[in-house]
DNA sequence: GTCTATACACAGATAGAC
DNA sequence: GTCTATCTGTGTATAGAC
């Protein structure tokens, strides 16, 4: 799947998930009509990401948010019960989308190299399609409650584990040579993160997400691929 | 130089630089005796890093800082004129140390592979010796003034340029094969940053800074080294 | 449901005693 | 030089009119 197609499916699923978010938070939300709630919540989430990614969530005031959304303070507080509650909702709905996409994507391939390729591309595509949310989650991790922070760390470790499992399986099957794959998985994660953390730098240099993905994969394979696989690769070309 | 030796030289130079910081900020500091100022400033800087790296600089209150340093609010404000001023001083003194060490380190080697090795190790050692400051600078970049933010970005690009120059020179001399070295330099930087951003994760897994450095270098060389260099490498062993 | 006006808490900063 | 007590601004959150 190309990135453009991927982007579309993410946007579609966003709408569904906003509705689900409303259902889940119905208790803590005063607004009763779903349409109003979803419409406002999506504006609020977008505005929160825009403002927070400029000056940080703790420095974003409710008056900032009121200005950016065009809603009054009163209207804002019918959608959430506190600033902390807003953070939690934003956090949760983002993870909902991410989890859904990552789970479905890892099931497609079976061959280790194709699996690795798929995993890296899915992660990069997803972080590109939801860049503001990924950036926000990384930078505001400190402001989360203990429970929320643990979930954030867990989901990061889960990602790493996906890479690690693929690398280990590849080694067992003789596709990859023995290496410290724990460390390798961490570094793949680090490189994937750099893509959304330094989004502007790469945009300025006109590096596309596909170029980035291919480069990271080539780098990792140069280090991990067994010699016979490299030969196979050359014959294919 | 081993990391332990490196650590010592950094600590020595810290003392000198605190004195210099005092000299530089003499105008905006009310305290007159150098000894008092330096003693307090170093306590304040350390406490600021400790608190901010837990909850973020904007969420750190002056009362937090007062508690952590054991100094009263009044005493704090004799050392700096505002919270923003404190941020600027901390930022500047950190960069002073970093610049000094990076400049002196790049001059030592001439051969491309040794140069790359030296550059990566110096960066990792320095970020390890001053981990709280590096973490702080990365995370609080949003809170800096425009001028300060530009300096932070510049110094990041400078680092990348150091790696890029080494890689390009290596390619010209036939030690490295042709690659997109702009992107390669960015990824090296990303991996170096991951070391100080995820300090706890690596500590928990008992990965030492030397292990990390060696792994990153092996990964990069597997991708960039010309075939004849790999042969040379194997013969050496 | 949405607005305006306001309550209340707490932040940064300083004055003045010692 | 350092302390305690206090000023003033601004942030979150809500009450009540429309």
Q: Give B79-111 pLDDT, tens digit per residue.
A: 999 999 999 999 998 998 898 888 877 777 889
pTM: 0.95
Q: Of residues B99 and B207, which shows the higher confidence score?
A: B207
For residues B118-145, average pLDDT: 96
Q: Which helix (H) or strand (E) holds B222?
A: helix B209-224
Please report where in the chains the tokens 């930022």 appear, as a residue. Answer: B91
Q: What is the pLDDT of residue A216?
A: 98
Q: Of residues B199 and A97, which shows the higher confidence score?
A: B199
A127 phi/psi in degrees, rounded to 5: -70, -25
Beta-carbon separation of A194 and B193 below 8 A: yes
Measure the CA–CA gap between B227 and A12, rounded to whole angstroms. 48
pLDDT at B22 over 80: no
Q: What is the pLDDT of residue B54?
A: 97
pLDDT at A225 over 60: yes
Tokens at residue B210, please? 């030397």
Beta-carbon separation of B207 and A183 below 8 A: yes
For A153, nearest residue in chain B (alpha carbons): B201
Of A71, A88, A90, A60, nearest to A31 by C-alpha is A71
- Neighboring chain A residues of B201 at a CB cutoff of 8 Å: 186
DSSP conformational letter for A141: G
Percent of chain A past pLDDT 70, that is, above it, reads: 95
Q: Of residues A30 and B154, which shows the higher confidence score?
A: B154
Q: What is the pLDDT of residue A235?
A: 59
How many contacts (CB atoms, under 8 Å) link A and B? 79
pLDDT at B228 over 60: yes
pLDDT at A237 over 60: no
Q: What is the pLDDT of residue B103?
A: 82
Q: What is the pLDDT of residue B87?
A: 97
For residues B40-58, average pLDDT: 96
Nucleotide nearest to B75 (CA to C1'): D2
Q: What is the pLDDT of residue A22?
A: 73
Q: What is the pLDDT of residue B26?
A: 74
Nucleotides of D under 7 A from a protein CB: 1-6, 10-16
A72 Rama sector, left if φ>0, alpha if ψ -120 to 50, beta otherwise:
beta
pLDDT at A86 over 60: yes
- List the A66 CA – D13 C1' distance (angstroms): 14
Measure the CA–CA gap between A216 and A120, rounded to whole angstroms. 8
Candidate from A101-115, B29-43, B135-149 with smallest mean pLDDT: B29-43
Best mutation target among B56, B60, B144, B198 (most A Cβ atoms within 10 Å) is B56
Beta-carbon separation of B55 and A143 below 8 A: yes
Q: What is the pLDDT of residue A15?
A: 76
For residues B221-236, average pLDDT: 80
Number of H helices, E strands in chain B: 12, 0
pLDDT at A1 over 70: yes
Average pLDDT, chain B: 91
A183 phi/psi in degrees, rounded to 5: -65, -40
pLDDT at B154 over 60: yes
Q: Say yes or no: B216 contacts chain A, CB-CB below 8 A.
A: yes
Candidate from A28-32, A66-70, B158-162, B226-230 with smallest mean pLDDT: A28-32
Residue B236: band (very low, low, confident or very high) from pLDDT cuts 50, 70, 90 = low
Please report where in the chains the tokens 């020179």 appear, as a residue. Answer: B169
For residues A159-174, average pLDDT: 97
For residues B192-198, average pLDDT: 98
Measure the CA–CA gap between B98 and B130, rounded to whole angstroms. 9
- Cβ count near A116 (within 10 Å): 24
Percent of chain B past pLDDT 70, that is, above it, reads: 95
Sign of CA dihedral A84, A90, A94, A95: positive
Residue B10: band (very low, low, confident or very high) from pLDDT cuts 50, 70, 90 = confident
Of B168, B162, B165, B175, nearest to B123 by C-alpha is B162
- Neighboring chain A residues of B143 at a CB cutoff of 8 Å: 55-56, 59
Q: Of residues A127 and B18, which shows the higher confidence score?
A: A127
For residues B49-78, average pLDDT: 97
pLDDT at B11 over 80: yes
pLDDT at B63 over 90: yes
pLDDT at A33 over 80: no
Average pLDDT, chain A: 91
Q: Say yes or no: A132 contacts chain B, CB-CB below 8 A.
A: no
pLDDT at A83 over 60: yes
Q: What is the pLDDT of residue B234?
A: 58
């Amino acid at each position: 799947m190309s990135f453009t197609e991927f982007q579309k499916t993410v946007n579609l699923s966003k709408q569904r998930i906003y509705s689900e978010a409303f259902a889940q938070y119905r208790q803590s939300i005063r607004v009763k009509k779903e349409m109003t709630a979803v419409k406002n919540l999506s504006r609020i989430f977008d505005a929160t990401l825009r403002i927070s990614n400029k000056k940080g969530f703790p420095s974003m005031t409710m008056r900032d948010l009121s200005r950016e959304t065009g809603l009054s303070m009163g209207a804002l507080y019918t959608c959430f019960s506190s600033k902390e509650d807003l953070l939690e909702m934003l956090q949760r709905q983002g993870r909902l989308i991410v989890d859904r996409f990552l789970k479905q994507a890892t099931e497609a391939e079976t061959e280790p190299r194709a699996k690795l390729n798929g995993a890296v591309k899915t992660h990069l595509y997803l972080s590109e399609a939801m860049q503001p949310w990924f950036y926000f989650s990384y930078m505001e991790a400190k402001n989360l409650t203990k429970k929320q922070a643990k979930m954030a760390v867990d989901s990061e470790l889960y990602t790493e584990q996906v890479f690690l499992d693929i690398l280990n399986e590849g080694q067992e099957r003789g596709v990859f040579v023995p290496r410290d794959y724990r460390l390798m998985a961490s570094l793949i994660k680090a490189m994937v993160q750099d893509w959304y953390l330094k989004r502007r730098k790469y945009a300025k240099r006109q590096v596309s997400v596909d170029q980035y993905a291919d480069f990271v994969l080539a780098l990792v394979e140069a280090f991990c691929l067994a010699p016979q696989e490299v030969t196979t690769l050359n014959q294919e070309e």
